[in-house]
Amino acid sequence: MIVMKFGGSSVGTGERIANVARIAADVTERRGTPPVVVVSAMSGVTDALRRAATTATAGDQDTFHLIRDELQQRHKQAIDDCVSDMEHARALRAEIESLLNWFETLCQSIYTLGELTPRGMDVVSGLGERLSARVVAAAMRSQGLKARTVEATEIIVTDNKFGNATPLFPETRERVQRRIVPLVEVGVIPVVTGFIGATLDGVLTTLGRGSSDFSATVLGSALDAEEVWIWTDVDGVMTADPRIVSQARTLPSISYSEVAELSYFGAKVLHPSTIQPVSSRGIPVRVLNSLRPENPGTLITNDAVDEPLVKGITAIRDLSLITIAGPGMQGVPGVAGRAFGSVARSGVSVLMITQSSSEQSICFVVRTVDHSAVVQSAGAEFELELMRGDIDAVTSQDEVAIIAVVGAGMRGKPGIAYHIFGAVAERGINILSIAQGSSEYNLSMVVSHQDVDEGVRAIHQQFGLDRIGGG
Ligand code: ASP
Ligand code: MG
């Protein structure tokens, strides 16, 4: 069995949806058995839905009506463009309209109450996938395929952490097997809503923004799928962001751990949780371009190959480098523990940590939106030390970025750091801080934000990534 996920831009218009149906038809024919399909909302729809809910809570009575009209228009147009049977198209339009009526009622009550709970936000946000899945299934039927919409609320069971729920695997597996396998056995393509799930009590949850990829691998794992294919609008996992490096290339293959590092460090191809459900079962993931389905894309498996040494270079921006420094920190146990304890209490996540062995300072990187909370809580934690002069100050240097260099081939090879830092130095770029995980898969450095693009380009060129296979 193959699970295929189509992202928001792959289902962004009626024409694109018809293309998705063609891909599904082709795969069904080639393999002799239908794939399981997972879809995102049409591009931009989740954002629009969320905007409707937030403006309604803020006392705006007009925006959600406008958004409803836009969504109705957009889905109606899509249906006109990809559902040929008039009778089916009419029934589907009515169904979409009734879902949108319900959405409008929901926003009206949010407006009246002036309150929006995370649970309410999930119900609103998850509507986009419920709309798109219906249109995609209808488009498949128009092309002579058998297809049925499946609400993920019936099969993906999660905890009740609204907005960022975690699937409960044993329950999910049981339901997925029971609901999906019989459909596929009789030749029906299940079209499952990505992004959403439900608690054991049946209350709708979402798995976090951009999580339809994750929905697909959760299903892939629950079905013991042969492979999971993520259809997107780029040719696969690239060596760098092509908007920064014009010679960026598609990687023919990459390992689970490498791609996890890359997505953590801001490469937008895959949601960071995507790999976890499939890696332990060794189910390969392919990233493919729905607009160029003949391209081989990128294959993600357990095998970490050494070539190329560096697989990818990514950058995260809008960060702050927090430094806690002072002569009285040396040899005093517990300083790091207290520092990170205070950061954790302010609910902030730390992206990178360094401490020099002289123990005179601890540096760590947080998102700039969080920097004042961190400086404040660390300041409070070390109030006494600051007063006594054991610690000089807790400072925040803003407008910095992390460049992360990722590749399994870097492991155990002397001289990699020399080449990375040499390339950066040649361009006159100053490095503020450095960290390497003991896996040696990732070497990260902090630079000033005006240097980040140039730094990424320098390293890309140094390792000859513009010459590797792929497109
Ligand atoms: N539609 C959801 C979002 O925009 C999930 C996804 O597209 O993966 O966050
Ligand atoms: Mg996405």
Q: What is the pLDDT of residues 59-85, one digit of tens each?
A: 999 999 999 999 999 999 999 999 999
Contact call for residues 155 and 161 (beta carbons, < 8 A): no
Q: Name all residues whose Cβ lies below 6 A of ligand 1.
A: 7-8, 40-41, 46, 128, 194-195, 209-212
Quick one: which H or E segment has residue 395?
A: strand 393-406
Q: What is the mean pLDDT of the chain?
A: 94
Determine the distance separating the centroid of ligand 1 and the alpha carbon of 32, expressed in angstroms. Answer: 30
Q: Provide the pLDDT for residue 331.
A: 80
H runs (alpha helix) in 143-207 = 169-185
In this structure, the number of other CB atoms found within 10 A of the CB of residue 178 comes to 11
Distance, CA of 354 to CA of 112 (rounded, Å): 50
Does one domain contain both 227 and 365? no
CATH number of the domain within which 383 lies: 3.30.2130.10
Residue 129 CA: nearest ligand 1 atom is 1
In this structure, the number of other CB atoms found within 10 A of the CB of residue 347 comes to 9
Look-up: residue for tokens 């100050």? 393
Q: Is 257 exposed, middle or buried (0-12, 13-18, 19+ CB in 10 A)?
A: middle
Q: pLDDT class for 438, splitting at 50, 70, 90? A: low
How far is the first Cα of the chain from the last one, in angstroms, to the nearest whole number? 28
Q: Provide the pLDDT for residue 295.
A: 93
Does one domain contain both 319 and 229? no
Amino acid at residue number 370: D
CA 455 to chain CA centroid, nearest Å: 24
Angle between helices 452-462 and 416-426 (to 10 degrees): 130
Whether 122 is covered by a domain: the verdict is yes
Whether 437 is covered by a domain: the verdict is yes
Q: Provide the pLDDT for residue 200.
A: 97
Parallel/antiparallel/unpaired status of strands 227-232 and 2-6? parallel
In this structure, the number of other CB atoms found within 10 A of the CB of residue 30 comes to 8
In angstroms and rounded to an integer, the radius of gyration of the C-alpha atoms of the chain is 25
Determine the distance separating the centroid of ligand 2 and the alpha carbon of 215, expressed in angstroms. Answer: 11
Contact call for residues 406 and 265 (beta carbons, < 8 A): yes
Whether 269 is covered by a domain: the verdict is no
The pTM of this model reads 0.89
Degrees, nearest 5: CA angle 238-243-246? 75
Check whether 436 has a pLDDT greater than 90. Answer: no
More confident residue, 464 or 307: 464
**Residue of minimum CA distance from atom 5 in ligand 1:** 210
Question: Buried (b) or exposed (e) across 327-345, using 16+ Cβ within 10 A?
Answer: ebbeeeeebbebbbebbee
Site to substitute for ligand 1 among 5, 42, 136, 209, most atoms within 8 A of C-beta: 209
Does one domain contain both 66 and 204? yes
Does one domain contain both 30 and 125? yes
Q: pLDDT class for 93, splitting at 50, 70, 90? A: very high
Residue 40 CA: nearest ligand 1 atom is 7
Does one domain contain both 184 and 329? no
Does one domain contain both 192 and 69? yes
- Which of 193, 208, 233 is the last residue before a domain boundary? 233
Distance, CA of 28 to CA of 468 (rounded, Å): 32
Degrees, nearest 5: CA angle 276-25-175? 40
Q: What is the largest CA-CA distance in the chain?
A: 80
Does one domain contain both 222 and 76? yes
The residues, any chain, with a CB within 8 Å of residue 144's CB and separated by 6 or more, are 25
**Residue of minimum CA distance from atom 2 in ligand 1:** 210
Give the closest residue to 165 by CA, choosing from 213, 197, 190.
197
pLDDT in tens, 276-324: 999 999 999 999 999 999 999 999 999 878 888 899 999 999 999 999 9
Does one domain contain both 210 and 331? no
Distances (CA, A) of 354 to 7, 135, 263, 328, 433: 37, 50, 21, 18, 7
- Which of 233, 260, 280 is the last residue before a domain boundary? 233
Residue 213 CA: nearest ligand 1 atom is 8
Check whether 129 has a pLDDT greater than 80. Answer: yes
Contact call for residues 59 and 111 (beta carbons, < 8 A): yes
Distances (CA, A) of 377 to 200, 334, 338, 370, 383: 38, 16, 10, 11, 10
Check whether 362 has a pLDDT greater than 80. Answer: yes
Distances (CA, A) of 307 to 133, 199, 287: 40, 44, 19
Ligand nearest to the CA of 39: 1
Whether 293 is covered by a domain: the verdict is no
Residue 212 CA: nearest ligand 1 atom is 8
Whether 89 is covered by a domain: the verdict is yes
Contact call for residues 133 and 73 (beta carbons, < 8 A): no
**Residue of minimum CA distance from atom 3 in ligand 1:** 210
Token pair for 304: 């970490």
Check whether 437 has a pLDDT greater than 80. Answer: no
Question: Buried (b) or exposed (e) across 89-128, using 16+ Cβ within 10 A?
Answer: beebbebbeebbeebbebbeebbeeeebeeebbbbbbbbb
Determine the distance separating the centroid of ligand 1 and the alpha carbon of 72, expressed in angstroms. Answer: 19
pLDDT in tens, 369-393: 999 999 999 999 999 999 999 999 9
Whether 353 is covered by a domain: the verdict is yes
Identify any residues that bridge with 150 across adjacent strands, giving them in sequence order: 192
Does one domain contain both 216 and 330? no
- Which of 198, 233, 268 is the last residue before a domain boundary? 233
Does one domain contain both 328 and 214? no
Site to substitute for ligand 1 among 124, 212, 213, most atoms within 8 A of C-beta: 212
Whether 274 is covered by a domain: the verdict is no
Does one domain contain both 323 and 204? no
Amino acid at residue number 109: S
- Per the structure, the count of domains in the chain is 2
pLDDT in tens, 177-229: 999 999 999 999 999 999 999 999 999 999 999 999 999 999 999 999 999 99
Check whether 131 has a pLDDT greater than 60. Answer: yes
Determine the distance separating the centroid of ligand 1 and the alpha carbon of 126, expressed in angstroms. Answer: 9
Q: Provide the pLDDT for residue 267.
A: 66
| Beta strand segments in 78-222, E | 147-150, 189-193, 196-198, 204-206
Q: Provide the pLDDT for residue 269.
A: 77
Whether 198 is covered by a domain: the verdict is yes
Domain that holds residue 61: 2-233
| Beta strand segments in 302-392, E | 312-325, 352-355, 361-367
Ligand nearest to the CA of 216: 1
Ligand nearest to the CA of 212: 1
Does one domain contain both 214 and 352? no
